[in-house]
Homo-oligomer: A and B are copies of this chain.
């Protein structure tokens, strides 16, 4: 029997319609065989030895010796750092110059790694680079929102093979981000608690969608997952901004994120995916009603006219089945 489920935080609804759907294992079959690229490519601008193909880095780790992580300005940036932020009117319409910051996090010198195959220490260095850039960009008082994300594979919007993620910082905090914040305030004022803390507590209580847990973090397929195998990682302690993560937490997060992506990579045969690190807007780092988290979306289904029109996503694999499937994947 199909079911509507509401996202506790955003109040958006999904439809679980599993009868029409496939079993989780059906999603692994139709992909072409995996081709592992070489560890170094002559024509890759992100490979070591080609540092002159990218603008000067704003972050490099380690500072001496061979680099492990480099963060550089995006040469194909959609936004530019040298513009004003004032709004202007075009008749009844509102416009602003495209001020913003766009950076690329080159996650490893090795061309053929990805999060699922990095070692935990390497991934820890990537997560530390996210924190460093989040902290640094937050000092720019024209920036209000910093989005950190990773596109893996062409269906997720990248054709670049070398492992990398991206940071885009904007002066604008759009309704897409504001609306869940408003819902979080309503929840806080009604219940006196962070809605995301409550969601985490409920997922841990119900257990059946939990994939893995550590001291500081929990990974689950959310109750109102919009698509098959959607996963999220939340810190268990209340924190609105990723900028406050400490070194011990970073290493735990690295281990958990790597495990999750290895389960997805092996279980679903290297699907394309996006992940997003959602952290509070700049200035709201200490607020009691927001909570940072990561969402991982394997690109397995296509939102169509109904999703575009209504915003109600039809998910053909229940998050309970998705979580069970991912838990049972054998990883090294």
Chain A residues within CB distance 8 Å of chain B: 1-6, 8, 10-13, 15-17, 20, 76-80, 83, 90-98, 100, 145, 147-151, 154-158, 166, 168, 170, 172, 174-177, 179, 198-199, 201-202, 205-206, 223-224, 274-278, 295, 297, 302-306, 308-312, 314
Q: Chain A's interface: helix, strand, loop or mixed, by majority?
A: mixed
- Sampled A-B contacts (5; CB under 8 Å): A3-B96, A6-B93, A20-B78, A175-B179, A274-B305
Q: Is the CB of A13 within 8 A of B172?
A: yes
The count of identical subunits is 2
Q: Is the CB of B15 within 8 A of A79?
A: yes
Q: How far is the CA of A1 from the CA of B78 in the complex (A)?
A: 9
Q: How far is the CA of A275 from the CA of B170 in the complex (A)?
A: 30
Contacts of A168 in B (CB 8 A): 306, 310
Contacts of A312 in B (CB 8 A): 170, 172, 174, 176
Q: Is the CB of A310 within 8 A of B177?
A: yes
In the complex, residue of chain B having the shortest beta-carbon distance to the beta carbon of A277: B309
Contacts of A314 in B (CB 8 A): 78
In the complex, residue of chain B having the shortest beta-carbon distance to the beta carbon of A92: B202
Contacts of A20 in B (CB 8 A): 76-78
Q: Is the CB of B10 within 8 A of A98?
A: no
Q: Are A95 and B3 also in contact (CB < 8 A) when A12-B174, A305-B274, A306-B147 are?
A: yes
Q: Is the CB of B311 within 8 A of A6?
A: no
Q: Is the CB of B5 within 8 A of A305?
A: no
Q: Are A8 and B94 also in contact (CB < 8 A) when A2-B80, A79-B15, A303-B157 are?
A: yes
Q: How far is the CA of A223 from the CA of B92 in the complex (A)?
A: 11
Q: Is the CB of A5 within 8 A of B94?
A: yes
Q: How far is the CA of A305 from the CA of B151 in the complex (A)?
A: 6
In the complex, residue of chain B having the shortest beta-carbon distance to the beta carbon of A222: B93
Q: How far is the CA of A96 from the CA of B224 in the complex (A)?
A: 12
Q: Is the CB of A15 within 8 A of B302?
A: no
In the complex, residue of chain B having the shortest beta-carbon distance to the beta carbon of A183: B175
Q: How far is the CA of A114 from the CA of B149 in the complex (A)?
A: 38
Q: Is the CB of A304 within 8 A of B151?
A: yes
In the complex, residue of chain B having the shortest beta-carbon distance to the beta carbon of A314: B78
Q: Are A202 and B91 also in contact (CB < 8 A) when A78-B314, A98-B3, A177-B311 are?
A: yes
Q: Is the CB of B15 within 8 A of A98?
A: yes
In the complex, residue of chain B having the shortest beta-carbon distance to the beta carbon of A80: B2
Contacts of A8 in B (CB 8 A): 92-94
Q: Which of B12, B92, B206, B297 contacts A176 (CB 8 A)?
A: B12
In the complex, residue of chain B having the shortest beta-carbon distance to the beta carbon of A11: B175
Q: How far is the CA of A308 from the CA of B166 in the complex (A)?
A: 13
Q: Is the CB of A145 within 8 A of B15?
A: no
Q: How far is the CA of A325 from the CA of B223 in the complex (A)?
A: 44
Q: Is the CB of B98 within 8 A of A1?
A: yes
Having A15-B79, A149-B304, A157-B302, one finds 8 other A-B pairs with CB under 8 Å, namely A2-B98, A15-B98, A91-B206, A93-B202, A93-B224, A156-B304, A157-B304, A158-B304
